[in-house]
């Protein structure tokens, strides 16, 4: 049985058949396909890889959350030395990482509790309430070894955050996407 021809069908010339075809959708599809090669050339998720791929860290049976903006707001309200440590780390190779016990408790509390709840506590009752909750939850409830391990995990999360920020800024600058607050390049 021959299946390559249709019975009782007349042949249509090629130029007439192609004229009846709408090539707009095909051109749109080809346009979408062309961006796939470009997208696949960059490793996902790009400069923010550690931020997206690296989630929370487990330490001493606690979960140390990844860095979110509310962490900085709470640490700033608590006048945490962790912020000055980060600032100093950007300019120096060695940084003083000694914290007072109550400062460690506050840092541990901020990073192990739900960020939204801690921020809401700050907004509704103020920094003293956050400090009091940290003293009660961590200072009176955790073992000293757990505090030390969680502090190391917090520093790891901060390191990931800083590395991601630096890589993202470098990638944006290399692509020319960042020009705000940059000095114009002049030819000598």
Residue-wise pLDDT tens digits, 109-123:
999 999 899 999 999
Q: What pLDDT score does 125 carry?
A: 93
Residues near 167 by beta carbon (within 8 Å), at least 6 away in sequence:
47, 48, 49
Q: Given a cut of 70, is residue 47 above it in pLDDT?
A: no
**Does residue 102 contact residue 139 with C-beta atoms inside 8 Å?**
yes
Q: What residue spans define the domains of the chain?
A: 47-175
Tell me how far apart the alpha carbons of residues 184 and 102 are, in angstroms, rounded to a whole number.
46
* Packing angle, helices 101-112 and 144-175, rounded to 10: 60
pLDDT at 43: 56
Q: pLDDT tens digits, residue range 102-157? A: 999 999 999 999 989 999 999 999 999 999 999 998 888 888 889 889 988 888 88
């Amino acid at each position: 049985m021959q299946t390559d021809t249709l019975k009782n069908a007349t042949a249509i010339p090629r130029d007439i058949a192609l004229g009846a075809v709408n090539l707009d959708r095909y051109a749109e599809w080809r346009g979408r396909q062309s961006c796939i090669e470009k997208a696949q050339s960059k490793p996902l998720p790009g400069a923010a890889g550690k931020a997206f791929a690296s989630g929370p860290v487990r330490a001493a049976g606690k979960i140390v959350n990844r860095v979110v903006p509310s962490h900085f707001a709470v640490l700033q309200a608590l006048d945490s030395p962790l912020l000055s440590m980060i600032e100093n780390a950007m300019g120096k190779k060695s940084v003083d990482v000694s914290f007072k016990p109550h400062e460690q408790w506050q840092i541990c509390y901020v990073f192990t509790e739900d960020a939204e709840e801690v921020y809401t506590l700050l907004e509704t009752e103020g920094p003293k309430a956050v400090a009091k909750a940290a003293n009660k939850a961590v200072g009176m409830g955790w073992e000293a070894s757990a505090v030390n391990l969680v502090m190391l995990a917090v520093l790891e999360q901060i390191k990931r955050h800083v590395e991601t920020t630096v890589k993202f800024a470098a990638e944006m600058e290399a692509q020319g996407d960042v020009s705000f607050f940059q000095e114009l390049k002049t030819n000598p």
